[in-house]
């Protein structure tokens, strides 16, 4: 007798997820929920309605362009970190396209100029270098400078633009020198991005420093961009404090405030479905999945972090340890292709599917075909509970990246 369905864990999945659609989804695949995206958008819309701030989508974190028509209803545009992202934004999102990069090549700027509305520079040198090109441009592009407030809110070092030695943003000392040498004529706004998955108290403290050090330069500017890293759609996020921060700047200095979250737009809106291929015995039982950490969930190794799995308990030593303990590992040849240790109510067997939670952001934008592994399919769980397979990938996607 077949005891249980091979994806038994989905039966208790909270709405809007439903067992049927999850079982139907290919493996491995990203499954993004339209309903949950709309829920996040509603929260972002509320902030815009209350304050008049403009919120952009940071494409670096989430660029599933098939859902851009949905996001367009609320968000004012995109912020791009490269010409490719800017082109995608222009083609598929429209509205405002902002671009920032730590440095631009000549061809980057040539590509960006006809596309962008805001172009942000990371140094006075780069701004000066491209100034003649900017002046030739007939289109009205607003130019901004990224500042480094030199105030760290304790993000992990690789995600902390204010860590010692950071190349991101112009520091006060260099800003003062830049203004002395070149002035600020032609600059429409300033930009800072210093947070990562943080609440609005971190923003408030950062903003105090920005105001203290840079508000003397606000005169004549049109906008101040607060960057991303605001975990707005997280349950415990203090929206009121964010709104007060925005209003303070807008009222006091008559500046338009921009926010450009990536993660917050797609937070908790998607899962990653993967299936157990084999279970081997090493020092502990290891379930080998049809996916892999470096290729399908690189942040697991890069950040690093341990993603939650629906229905799974902690590793040994945790507070919620279930009966059957496993290490989950990927099918690549990388020895370190380990996702983490988890416990389950029942033994894992080949064919069983697992669902990693909160996998919409910084996931499909980061996948690779290392080892020749196939990219996970991209699917959408529609509001009517039907599943739409948006894109499947194959051999050509691997071959195309090589020659």
Ligand X SMILES: *Cc1c(COP(=O)(O)O)cnc(C)c1O
- Known binding residues: 263, 299
Q: Which of 34, 38, 90 is nearest to 59 (CA)?
A: 90
Residues in the chain: 403
Q: Nearest distance from residue 303's CB to ligand X, in Å?
A: 12
Burial of 216 (0-12, 13-18, 19+ CB in 10 A): exposed
266 belongs to the binding site for ligand X (CB under 6 A): no
Strand 377-381 versus strand 387-391 pairing type = antiparallel
Our CB check for ligand X shows the closer of 27 and 160 to be 160
- Burial tier of 225 (Cβ tally within 10 Å: 0-12, 13-18, 19+): buried
Smallest distance, Å, CB 166 to ligand X?
12
Judged by beta carbon, residue 261 or residue 298, the one nearer ligand X is 261
E strand or H helix that includes residue 57: strand 54-58
Cβ-based nearer residue to ligand X, 100 or 127 = 100
Do residues 224 and 189 touch, judged by C-beta distance below 8 A? yes
Binding-site residues for substrate: 263, 299
Nearer to ligand X, 264 or 378 (CB): 264
Rounded CA-CA distance 9/305 in Å is 22
Subset of residues 186 to 225 that bind ligand X, contact rule: CB under 6 A: 193, 196
Q: Smaller CB distance to ligand X: residue 163 or 386?
A: 163
CB 359 within 8 A of CB 388: no
Enumerate residues 92-111 that contact ligand X by CB under 6 A. Answer: 100
d(CA 102, CA 108): 12
Helix axes 200-214, 172-182, angle to 10 degrees: 40
- Region near ligand X per CB under 6 A, out of 174-182, 256-264, 294-302, 376-384: 256-264
Candidate list 260, 290, 341, 377; residue touching ligand X; CB under 6 A: 260
* Of the candidate residues 60, 90, 273, 296, the single one contacting ligand X (CB under 6 A): 60
Q: Does 227 bind ligand X (CB under 6 A)?
A: yes
Q: Is residue 298 involved in binding ligand X (CB under 6 A)? A: no
Footprint of ligand X (CB under 6 A): 58, 60-61, 79, 100, 193, 196, 227-229, 260-264
């Amino acid at each position: 007798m077949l005891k249980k369905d091979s994806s038994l864990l989905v039966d208790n999945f909270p709405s809007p997820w439903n067992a049927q659609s999850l079982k139907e989804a290919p493996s491995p695949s990203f499954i993004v929920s339209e309903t949950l995206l709309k829920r996040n958008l509603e929260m972002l819309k509320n902030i815009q309605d209350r304050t008049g701030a403009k919120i952009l989508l940071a494409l670096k974190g989430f660029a599933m362009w098939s859902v851009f028509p949905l996001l367009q209803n609320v968000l004012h545009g995109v912020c791009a970190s490269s010409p490719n992202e800017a082109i995608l934004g222009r083609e598929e999102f429209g509205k405002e396209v902002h671009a920032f990069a730590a440095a631009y090549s000549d061809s980057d700027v040539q590509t960006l100029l006809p596309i962008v509305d805001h172009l942000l520079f990371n140094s006075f040198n780069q701004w000066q270098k491209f100034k003649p090109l900017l002046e030739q441009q007939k289109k009205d592009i607003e130019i901004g400078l990224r500042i480094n407030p030199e105030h760290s809110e304790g993000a992990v070092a690789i995600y902390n633009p204010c860590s010692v030695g950071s190349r991101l943003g112009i520091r006060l000392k260099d800003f003062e020198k830049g203004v002395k040498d070149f002035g600020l004529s032609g600059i429409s706004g300033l930009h800072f991005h210093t947070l990562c998955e943080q609440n609005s108290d971190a923003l408030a403290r950062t903003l105090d420093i920005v105001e203290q050090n840079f508000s003397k330069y606000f005169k004549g500017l049109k906008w101040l961009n607060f960057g991303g890293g605001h975990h707005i759609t997280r349950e415990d996020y203090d929206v009121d404090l964010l709104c007060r921060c925005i209003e303070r700047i807008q009222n006091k200095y008559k500046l338009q405030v921009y926010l450009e979250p990536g993660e917050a737009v797609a937070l908790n809106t998607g899962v990653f479905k993967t299936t157990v291929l084999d279970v081997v015995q090493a020092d502990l039982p290891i379930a080998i999945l049809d996916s892999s950490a470096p290729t399908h969930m690189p942040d697991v190794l890069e950040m690093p972090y341990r993603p939650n799995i629906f229905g799974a308990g902690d590793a040994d030593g945790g507070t919620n340890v279930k009966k059957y303990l496993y290490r989950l590992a990927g099918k690549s040849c990388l020895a370190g292709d380990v996702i983490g240790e988890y416990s389950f109510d029942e033994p894992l067997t080949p064919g069983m599917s697992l669902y990693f939670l909160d996998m919409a952001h910084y996931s499909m934008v980061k996948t690779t075909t290392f080892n020749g592994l196939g990219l996970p399919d991209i699917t959408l769980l529609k509001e009517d509970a039907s599943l739409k397979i948006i894109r499947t990938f194959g051999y050509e996607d691997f071959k195309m990246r090589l020659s």
